Structure 1
Amino acid sequence: MTRFAILLGGDLTVTARLRAQIRGARVIAADSGMMHAATLGLMPELWVGDFDSAGSELTMQYRDVPRESFPAEKDATDGAIAVAEAIRRGATEIVLLGGLGGQTDHTAGLLGQSIEIARKGLACLLSSGIEEAWPVIPGSMEVALPPETRLSIIPFSDLEGLDLAGVKWPLLKRSVPLGSTLTLSNVALGPVRIAVSSGHGVAIAYPPLEFHV
């Protein structure tokens, strides 16, 4: 498995859990996402973007990192360009860091992008350090969550045949229409299994504060 961590420009809280999730990952920075490299103790193998928000200090500090520049007026975000490059370099798993909790349009777009990544057959995790998200597509997956983690599943389309196990309020073969709040604010008892027969959405988790150290 080849794991890539993509550094994005949003807020990031560095926790022991997050460090474990990116251990051994290859790294690509998207524009100002490079600001997280030093805190994480990582050296990206590539820096992509239009560099309109990277800052001259970062440019000097990481002047030896290979760069690919793109015009500011383009048809993809810097993060999407970084993901495409990770896939081109053989990624089988992508961790998107710093993309949650910021501007709603960018966050929603990134969640949608994670679904497309999953449809390509790649594992995908989004994390801000205190908030985590996974794409939900037809099939099943197990998510390692600490007990008492708040967990929600947000349908991006009608979900059919949803199974949810390892939670306080389990579900079996449930239909969850787009816009339903049935799957908000469940509680993990430990590892959680999520399965769905059709449709797509995202699972969002908030590990307890004691895991944010």
Structure 2
Amino acid sequence: MTDGIVSRIIDSADPVTLVGAGAAGDGDLHEAISHAPRLVAADGGARHALAKGLMPEAVIGDFDSLDNVTRAAIPADRLHRVAEQQTTDFDKALRHIAAPLVLGVGFLGERLDHLLAAQTVLLRRPERRCLLLGRGDLVFLCPPRLLLDLPEGSRVSLYPMAPVTGRSEGLHWPIDGIGFAPGGMIGTSNRVAGDKVLIEMEAPLMLVILPRAALGAAVRSLVAPGPGWPAP
């Protein structure tokens, strides 16, 4: 067990599934693992993993939502306590995982404040590629260059978390020259105009929201070689 900040509790060459304590669909965890085979839990998310017959290789958090029964079922050397209270368990876990992609389950649940906090973490840790899976949608921070192979007409929503600009190819409404801002122009409900979409952003400030059916395409894009954002 570890107190304080520990760097790279998980260092993986493969994508990692991170399960949180929030609400998730019945098949979410197994679907995530089919794309990201290594399993880590953020605090009370360990309970969801055990309920599905899965043992996380690490549990990371402040342990305020890790019940005693779940805690006792997990080997002590897999429990990594991060004692500070200034960040969420999602943040604590994400910053201690080095992987090509982290696929998060149980972070876009029924509570709006949890959803907003999770989106803030995506911006706070731009160097960690992370996709959050919800019941009907998925969301991730747009990398510097994103190439998606999606059917024509597929929904592609862009939501800026601060003023930002970019360019696109293959969107019905191109974004070139648009100054996006959360209190101004946003890019929700755009759609694919061909069979591929290219989006380039000038800064790590734009969220991409896609339908759940686009999970495979999004994972393939995010793990492909390409430029990434530096740590703040």
What TM-score range do you get, normalising by the shorter chain?
Answer: 0.7 to 0.9
Per the alignment, do residues 198 and 114 of structure 1 end up closer, same or farther by CA in structure 2, a change over 3 Å counting? closer
Alignment pair present for 1:37 and 2:49 = yes
2:100 matched residue in structure 1:
92
Matches of 1:128 and 1:117, distance apart in 2: 20
Cα offset, 1:124, TM superposition = 2.0
Partner of 1:23: 35
Structure 1 residue 74 corresponds to structure 2 residue 85:
yes
The answer to whether the aligner puts 1:185 opposite 2:156 as a matched pair is no
Per the TM alignment, residue 164 of structure 1 is displaced from its structure 2 partner at its CA by 3.0
What letter matches 1:114 in structure 2?
Answer: L
- What RMSD over aligned residues (CA atoms) do the two structures have, in Å? 3.2
Check 1:14–1:156 CA distance in 2 against 1; reply closer, same or farther (3 A cut): same
Question: How far apart are residue 61 of structure 1 and its match?
Answer: 4.0
Hey, what does 1:105 align to over in structure 2?
113
Gaps of 5+ in 2: 1-12, 217-232
The answer for the alignment partner of 2:137 in structure 1 is 131
2:60 aligns with 48
1:163 aligns with 2:174: no
Cα distance, 1:159–1:97 mapped onto 2, change above 3 Å:
same
Q: Give the number of equivalent residue pairs.
A: 202
Distance 1:21 1:166 in 2: 30
State the alpha-carbon separation in 2 of the partners of residues 150 and 204 from structure 1: 8
- Alpha-carbon deviation of 1:30? 1.0
Q: Which runs of 4+ in 1 moved over 4 A?
A: 14-18, 38-41, 144-148
CA distance in 1, matches of 2:77, 2:35: 20
Which of the two has greater strand per residue?
1
TM-score under structure 2 length normalisation: 0.70
Task: Quote the offset at 1:154 in angstroms.
Answer: 1.0
Describe the shift of the 1:112–1:85 C-alpha distance in structure 2 as closer, same or farther (beyond 3 A): same
TM normalised by structure 1 equals 0.75
Distance 1:159 1:182 in 2: 10
- Does the 8 A contact of 1:93 with 1:123 survive in 2? yes
Q: CA deviation at 1:144?
A: 4.6
Deviates more, 1:36-45 or 1:73-82: 36-45
Matched with 2:202 is 197
Percent identity over the alignment is 23
Cα deviations by residue, 1:140-160 (Å, 9 ceiling, x for unpaired): 112354554433211111122
The letter of the residue matching 2:85 is: K
Alignment gaps of 5+ in structure 1:
none
Q: Following TM superposition, by how much is the alpha carbon of 1:20 offset from its aligned partner in structure 2, in angstroms?
A: 5.8
CA distance in 2, matches of 1:201, 1:107: 16
Equivalent of 1:12, from 12, 24, 36? Answer: 24
Residue 112 of structure 1: SS of its match in structure 2? helix
Task: Report if the CA contact (8 A) 2:18-2:40 is conserved.
Answer: yes
